[in-house]
């Protein structure tokens, strides 16, 4: 179990989309490690959510724009004589890997969610996924049949359905890693559970990260925009809405601007 729990707030729609996809990819990977009908159901549910997000977003373009932004930042850092050269070289190596992934994405044709039009089972699942309990055996006997196929057949089919998503998953993972590790952690104090800080609009912030000890009695509720942000530490209640604590809270803050 980690020593700290970290709460994140993205301050741009692009990073918000990346974080949602990262979460879904991680869930999908977790369920793929287990054999069983319920794990397979959860895995395909994550896949459908990923495809739904991809269908609403120009994902390839968003990834390309983010890589270009990081490239410009590294060019600026490289001109600074005080920069940590070892970290810079590591970042350049990661950026090269990102550019390779980006080339793969740009060379791929068709929509990211085109598998929904090519695989009837996924199309049927997508149509019924928004209905509570809509994928029961009596609703989709073909799905029940597929879930009882041998494990190696199910795995090979899922791998084929998700092959075009692998470069996206890797690119988003590397980009978020860049952003998260661009900031140096600072120790802060929230008086009576409240903390506020102004932001320099000349250096846009893309992600805020607040970390608390794992055994803390509070959770962090973060809100903000390009000018300032606030953190409230809330105590969960059994039958009512959580309330802000009146205790002083020490926490770790990362303001990610890369």
Contact 42, 31 (CB under 8 A): yes
Q: What is the pLDDT of residue 75?
A: 72
> Is the same domain home to 144 and 26?
yes
> Is the same domain home to 84 and 112?
yes
> Is the same domain home to 188 and 173?
no
> Is the same domain home to 154 and 237?
no
> Is the same domain home to 144 and 50?
yes
Phi, psi of 86 (to 5 degrees): -65, -45
Q: What is the pLDDT of residue 58?
A: 85
Phi, psi of 136 (to 5 degrees): -65, 165
Q: Give the domain range for residue 227.
A: 183-256
Mean pLDDT, residues 23-33 taken together = 94
CA 209 to chain centre: 13
Q: What is the pLDDT of residue 100?
A: 82
Runs of H (alpha helix) within the chain: 13-32, 37-56, 59-78, 85-107, 115-118, 120-128, 141-147, 151-162, 166-180
Residue 241 pLDDT > 70: yes
Residue 196 sits in a domain of what CATH number? 2.60.440.10
What is the pTM for the complete model shown?
0.89
Q: What is the pLDDT of residue 130?
A: 84
> Is the same domain home to 60 and 188?
no
CB atoms within 10 A of CB 132: 4
d(CA 37, CA 146): 10
> Is the same domain home to 204 and 174?
no
d(CA 176, CA 183): 12
Q: Nearest-CA neighbor of 57 among 45, 65, 67, 68?
A: 65
Q: What is the pLDDT of residue 101?
A: 80
Residue 24 sits in a domain of what CATH number? 1.10.3900.10
Mean pLDDT, residues 148-170 taken together = 91
CA 212 to chain centre: 20
- At what angle are helices 166-180 and 85-107 packed, to 10 degrees? 150
Mean pLDDT, residues 42-51 taken together = 94
Q: What is the pLDDT of residue 1?
A: 57
Residue 91 pLDDT > 90: no
**Residue 97 located in a structural domain:** yes
pLDDT tier, 88 (very low <50, low <70, confident <90, very high otherwise)? low
Number of domains in the chain: 2
Contact 258, 176 (CB under 8 A): no
Q: What is the pLDDT of residue 84?
A: 67
Contact 102, 64 (CB under 8 A): yes
More confident residue, 258 or 132: 132
Label the pairing between strands 4-10 and 207-213: antiparallel
Per-residue pLDDT tens over the stretch 162-221: 988 988 999 999 899 989 988 889 999 999 999 999 998 888 899 999 999 999 999 999
**The tokens of 123 are what?**
């199309």
d(CA 250, CA 253): 10
Mean pLDDT, residues 137-163 taken together = 92
pLDDT tier, 140 (very low <50, low <70, confident <90, very high otherwise)? very high
Choose the final residue of a domain: 132, 150, 179: 179
Using alpha carbons, list the distances in angstroms from residue 119 to 104, 115, 124, 127, 231.
23, 6, 9, 13, 45
Ramachandran quadrant class, 186 (left: phi over 0; alpha: psi -120 to 50; beta: rest): beta
- At what angle are helices 120-128 and 37-56 packed, to 10 degrees? 80
> Is the same domain home to 215 and 108?
no
pLDDT tier, 254 (very low <50, low <70, confident <90, very high otherwise)? very high
Contact 253, 209 (CB under 8 A): yes
DSSP letter for 145, please: H
Choose the final residue of a domain: 179, 209, 229: 179
> For the ranges 3-12, 81-90, 91-100, which has the lowest average pLDDT?
81-90
More confident residue, 23 or 178: 23
> Is the same domain home to 148 and 193?
no
> Is the same domain home to 115 and 196?
no
> Is the same domain home to 140 and 236?
no
What percent of the chain has a predicted confidence (pLDDT) above 70? 95
């Amino acid at each position: 179990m980690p020593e700290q729990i970290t709460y994140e707030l993205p301050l741009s729609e692009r990073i918000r989309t990346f974080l949602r996809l990262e979460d879904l990819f991680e869930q999908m990977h977790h369920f793929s490690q287990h054999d069983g009908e319920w794990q397979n159901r959860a895995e395909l549910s994550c896949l459908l959510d990923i495809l739904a997000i991809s269908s609403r977003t120009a994902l390839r373009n968003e990834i390309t724009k983010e890589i270009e932004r990081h490239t410009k930042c590294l060019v600026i850092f490289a001109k600074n004589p005080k920069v940590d050269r070892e970290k810079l070289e590591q970042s350049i190596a990661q950026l090269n890997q990102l550019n390779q992934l980006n080339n793969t994405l740009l060379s791929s044709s068709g929509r990211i969610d085109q598998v929904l039009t090519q695989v009837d089972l996924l199309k049927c699942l997508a149509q019924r996924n928004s209905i509570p309990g809509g994928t029961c055996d009596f609703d989709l006997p073909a799905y029940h049949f597929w879930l009882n196929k041998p494990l190696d057949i199910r795995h090979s089919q899922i791998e084929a359905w998700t092959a075009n998503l692998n470069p996206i998953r890797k690119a988003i993972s590397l980009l978020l890693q860049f952003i998260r590790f661009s900031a140096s952690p600072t120790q802060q104090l929230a008086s009576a559970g409240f903390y506020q800080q102004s932001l320099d609009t000349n250096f846009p912030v893309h992600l805020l990260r607040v970390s608390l000890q794992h055994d803390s009695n509070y959770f962090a509720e973060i809100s903000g925009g390009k000018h300032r942000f606030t953190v409230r530490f809330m105590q969960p209640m059994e039958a009512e809405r959580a309330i802000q604590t009146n205790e002083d809270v020490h926490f770790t803050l990362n303001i990610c601007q890369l």
